[in-house]
Amino acid sequence: MAVRSLMVASGALSLGLLAFMPLPRGAEPQVYVIEIDKLAFGPAPAGLHVNDIVEWRNSDIFRHTATASDGSFDIDLPPSAKGQTVLRQPGVIDYACRFHPGMKGRLEVVP
Amino acid sequence: MFRKPSFLLAVTMSLAASSAMAQMAAKTTDPQIAHIAYTAGQIDIAAAELALKTSQNKAVKDFAEEMVRDHTAVNKQALALVEKLKVKPEDNDTSKSLTAAAAKKHEELSKLSGAAFDKAYAQNEVAYHQTVNGALATVLIPDAQNGELKSLLETGLKLFKEHQQHAEHLVGQLK
Ligand SMILES: [Cu+2]
C-alpha cells in the first residue's frame, strides 16, 4: 500500500526513472545456467556478481568441459551432465572446452 | 581447314555432355550420403584405436579417446536416424575410395612407433578431417534431401572442424 501511494504520488517521470534504477541485491546468490548444445556454449549471462553460481548443462550428444583459462575451474561434462561454478572473485574469466577448441566464452564478474 | 573447327566443336560438345553427365552422376543420394558419413566416422575410430594401442603419449591418447567417443556418438545418432527414416545406407564409390585410402594409411601407420607414429598419426588426422570437411561442405550437405539428415551432417561438419583444429594443436605440441 505504501509503495503504491508513493508511486501514484511521484508521477510518471519518476516512475520511469525508478524502472531504470538497479534493484538492490539481496544476500542470496543467483544461479545462472549456461547450456551447451551442438558444440557451442549458450550465451554468457550478463550481470554476474561475486558469489553467484554458473550452472553448466550439457544437452549435447558429446562430452565437453568448461575449463577456465586461469585455472579457476575445470568441469567435466559428459552428455546430459550438470556442474556448478561459484564465482569467488570479480574479474574476467575466459573459458573453453578442452576437447573442442572452437567452443569458448567469457564470464564478466563484478563485485 | 574445315576439319579442325568441327573436331574442336565435337570435342567441346562431348565435354559439355560428359560434364553434365558427371554432374548427374555426382548427385549423391541420401542412402549414399548416410553410408559415406558413417564410413568417415568409422575410419577415424579405427585410426584412433590404432593410436590407443600404439602411442605412449598422453596428449595423443587423449585425442584418440576423444575421436572414438565423438564419432561413436555421432554414428549412433546416424544409425538411429536411418532406422527412423527407413533409409538403407548404400555403398558407393566415395565410401569405397575413403575406405581404400584409409586401409593404405593404416598400413603405413602400423609400421611406425614412438614419436614417429605420434607425428604421422596427428598429421594424418589434420589431413583426414580436412578432406571430410570438404566433402561434407561441398557435396554431402548440399546434396542431402532429408532435413534431419542434413542437420545431422551439419553437426558432423562442426564436429570435424573442431577435431581438425584440435589435431592442428596436437601437431604443434608434438614438434
Ligand atoms: Cu567440447
Domain edges within chain B = 4-8+29-174
pLDDT at position A99:
95
What residues of B are in contact with residue A100 (Cβ under 8 Å)? 159, 162-163, 165-166
**Separation of CA B113 and ligand 1 centre (Å):** 29
Best A41, A61, A63, A77 residue to mutate vs chain B (most B CBs within 10 Å): A61
Contact A38 B158 (CB under 8 A): yes
Sole residue written with cell 575466459 = A94
Residues of chain A with pLDDT under 50: 1-23
pLDDT mean across residues, chain B: 88
pLDDT at position A95:
98
Nearest CA in chain A to B155: A38
- B4-8+29-174 maps to which CATH number? 1.20.1260.10
Cβ of A79 under 8 Å from any chain B Cβ? yes
Q: Which residues of A38-75 are buried (b: 16+ CB within 10 A; e: fewer)?
A: ebbbeeeeeebeebbebebbbebbbbbbbbeeeebbeb
- Whether B8 has a pLDDT exceeding 50, the answer reads no
> CA-CA distances (angstroms) from residue A98 to A50, A102, B66, B69, B75?
25, 10, 10, 14, 22
Q: pLDDT, tens digit, for every residue of B59-81?
A: 999 999 999 999 999 999 999 99
**Closest residue by Cα to residue B47 from B167, B174, B173, B175:** B167
Instruction: Kindly state the percentage of chain B with pLDDT values over 90.
Output: 84
Contact B166 A99 (CB under 8 A): yes
Q: Which of helix, strand or coil describes residue A33?
A: strand
Q: pLDDT, tens digit, for every residue of B38-50?
A: 999 999 999 999 9
What residues of A are in contact with residue B152 (Cβ under 8 Å)? none
pTM tops 0.90: no
| Sequence-distant (≥ 6) Cβ neighbours of residue A109 within 8 angstroms | A48, A49, A50, A52, A87, A89, A90, A91, A92, A93
Paired residues of A54 in beta bridges: A32, A85
pLDDT at position B151:
95
Q: Quick check: A66 and A32 in contact, CB under 8 A?
A: no
**Separation of CA B152 and ligand 1 centre (Å):** 17
Domains in chain A (CATH in brackets) are: 2-110 (2.60.40.420)
Q: pLDDT, tens digit, for every residue of B142-171?
A: 999 999 999 999 999 999 999 999 999 999
